Amino acid sequence: MPPKTRTTQSPAARARARQRPVLKMTICDDAAIKTTLDLARHTLRRAKADAANRPGDQVIAEAVTLAQQELDAAQAAFDTEAYDLRFQALPRGDFEGLKKLHPPTEAQAEEGYEVNVETFGPALVAAASLDELTVDDARSFLETWGEAEAAQLFNTAWNVQNETRADVGKG
């Protein structure tokens, strides 16, 4: 990791120059590539654990090197196949306005919902998307993808709205 460089900007200038947070959802539709990557990660973890327990063992050191090479190859294959959907936090007023545009139905309000869950999800995904997803795209994905992936799509767009990069500190 390169050393941090000191900036001459004041904290106020740095705060004014900040960009809103971005989160991504990485998608890889090739199950074999994902499995190979997971196995390569596992193999490297095991090899490193073995090496920690038997320092100086040349055979194990070579196994760590080989496992790292296999992980690098698996990661490269994954990176070639996978793609990211990126989402950026909306300006606060825009986010609040979007919620107001999608008030809950009476039944949803009685259940404690703040927004209409059927219409707000696609609108939020589209509004937060940096990849030009439309409301129709988002609605289609949320309706046709599997439960876990649809939830991850919505949660990525929702969670970036709540992302914090500040620390209160102790004084």
Chain mean position to CA 124: 16
Residue found by looking up tokens 């590539």 in the block: 33
Range of the domain at 62: 31-81
- Same domain? For 70 and 136 the reply is no
- Same domain? For 92 and 135 the reply is yes
Query: Residue 12 falls within a domain, yes or no?
Result: no
The 3-state DSSP class for residue 145 equals coil
Residues 133 and 125 sit within 8 Å (Cβ to Cβ): yes
Residue 83 to residues 6, 28, 80, 86, 170, Cα–Cα distance (Å): 34, 7, 8, 10, 40
Residue 107 to residues 114, 139, 152, Cα–Cα distance (Å): 11, 21, 25
- DSSP H or E segment with residue 27: strand 22-27
Residue 26's pLDDT is 98
Query: Residue 118 falls within a domain, yes or no?
Result: yes
Residue found by looking up tokens 């539709």 in the block: 29
Query: Residue 2 falls within a domain, yes or no?
Result: no
The verdict on pTM exceeding 0.85 is no
Question: Mean pLDDT in each 10-residue stretch from start to end of the chain (171 residues)?
Answer: 76 92 97 98 97 94 97 98 98 97 97 96 99 98 98 98 84 63
What is the count of structural domains for the chain?
2
Query: Residue 143 falls within a domain, yes or no?
Result: yes
Residues 122 and 142 sit within 8 Å (Cβ to Cβ): yes
Dist CA 47 CA 51 (whole Å): 6
Query: Residue 19 falls within a domain, yes or no?
Result: no
Query: Residue 50 falls within a domain, yes or no?
Result: yes
- 143 token code pair: 């309706």
Residue 162's pLDDT is 93
Dist CA 82 CA 34 (whole Å): 9
